[in-house]
Amino acid sequence: MSDRKLEENERSKAGKILKIVIQGVVGLIILLAIYLKVRDYDLSETVYSMNIPFFFCSAAFYFLLNLSLAFRLKKVVETTGCFVRFRDAVIAHLGGMILSDLTPGRSGYLSTPFFLRRASGCELNRGMAGILVPQAIEFLVKIFGAFMGLILLASVTEKFREILGFSAVAMALLFGVSALIILGSWSRYGDKIPFPSFIRKRLQAYTEQSVKTRESLGIILSLTLFGWFLTAFQWYFIGLTLSLQLSFLHFLLLQPLITLLMFIPLTPAGLGIMEGGAVAILFLLGVDPSTAFLYSILVRLSTLLADLPGLITVAKASINFKLT
């Protein structure tokens, strides 16, 4: 690679990093604004009364989620003809997850196929098919759960019924987009769209692999639903950490609704946006704003703690890239 191209790549990488840093600062400003809004409530007593073992239980459940999603990645990629060791799938998945925690719209997870190629040698198109199809199905399940969460909120507070209809329409649109991604991956209709040749070539290569993943629908759906319950337990144990008087059903239905906010690509993983949504929604259920704010922070910390081993994957990949 020429010095000019190297310089352009370095400049482009620096620009992307600067953009993420700016978005991170914006997220922190939003968090600070929320804190200043809720600090009139007594937060210190809640902090001192936290049940720390329950918090680590929540992180353990999220780590179990990571293991189940890594197993899903392994099984789906194997339908494309590439054998993957479970250990390699875990390494690649955790690398993608920690980057998703630090990037807008959680887009960092798209790096998972690159980590998988380094760990197991699977080509990128196979790895991409292994994450895009399951992610689209997971998004459908998440939207369904979020809609049920809206119904739950509408049943307990009249204030929320006014925006229930608008939210339902927005979710229906997201549901449609996810369905189109799945249909496009499994039906080859995307080949008929007149894309430029370089895009068409990449799309055809991906489609050839993604069509093979149709036979893994059962395992994708079952592990996605299992993952939903594991995440609900994560949220439930954080609730126990703060002694919230909410049932497991509340966390099961509110978790997909609130985590959808993490996919808004304005700040890294919806930093500040998710916390603001959690405070508003939990307040409607009778949780005081300061406790709701602390709850949302603990959710993010618990997630980061479980994803932290992914930093090893990212660090090794960065070192190997520099050496080559």
- Average pLDDT of the chain? 82
State how far the alpha carbon of 253 is from the alpha carbons of 14, 56, 238, 263, 281, in Å. Answer: 40, 22, 15, 17, 12
Share of the chain above pLDDT 70, in %: 76
Q: Give the Cα separation of 156 and 281 in Å (integer).
A: 11
Contacts 24+ apart (CB under 8 A), 12-21: 20/102, 20/103, 20/104, 20/268
Residues 127 and 134 sit within 8 Å (Cβ to Cβ): no
User: Higher model confidence: residue 320 or residue 92?
Assistant: 92
Listed residue (290, 300, 279) closest to 49, CA to CA: 290
What contacts 69, CB < 8 A, 6 or more positions away? Answer: 93, 223, 227
Listed residue (105, 112, 103, 102) closest to 133, CA to CA: 112
So what's the pLDDT on residue 320? 59
Q: What is the pLDDT of residues 260-288, one digit of tens each?
A: 888 888 899 889 999 998 998 898 888 88
Whether residue 88 has pLDDT greater than 90: yes
Q: Which of 5-9, 47-51, 116-120 has the lowest mean pLDDT?
A: 5-9
Whether residue 161 has pLDDT greater than 70: no
Q: What is the pLDDT of residues 173-208, one digit of tens each?
A: 667 766 766 666 666 555 554 444 444 444 555 566
- Average of pLDDT values for 36-40? 78
State how far the alpha carbon of 75 is from the alpha carbons of 53, 83, 136, in Å. Answer: 33, 9, 16
User: Higher model confidence: residue 161 or residue 141?
Assistant: 141
- Average of pLDDT values for 105-126? 89
User: Higher model confidence: residue 321 or residue 281?
Assistant: 281
Element containing residue 312 per DSSP (H, E): helix 310-323
Share of the chain above pLDDT 90, in %: 35
So what's the pLDDT on residue 323? 44
Greatest CA span in the chain, whole angstroms? 64
Tokens of 106: 């959680």
So what's the pLDDT on residue 284? 85
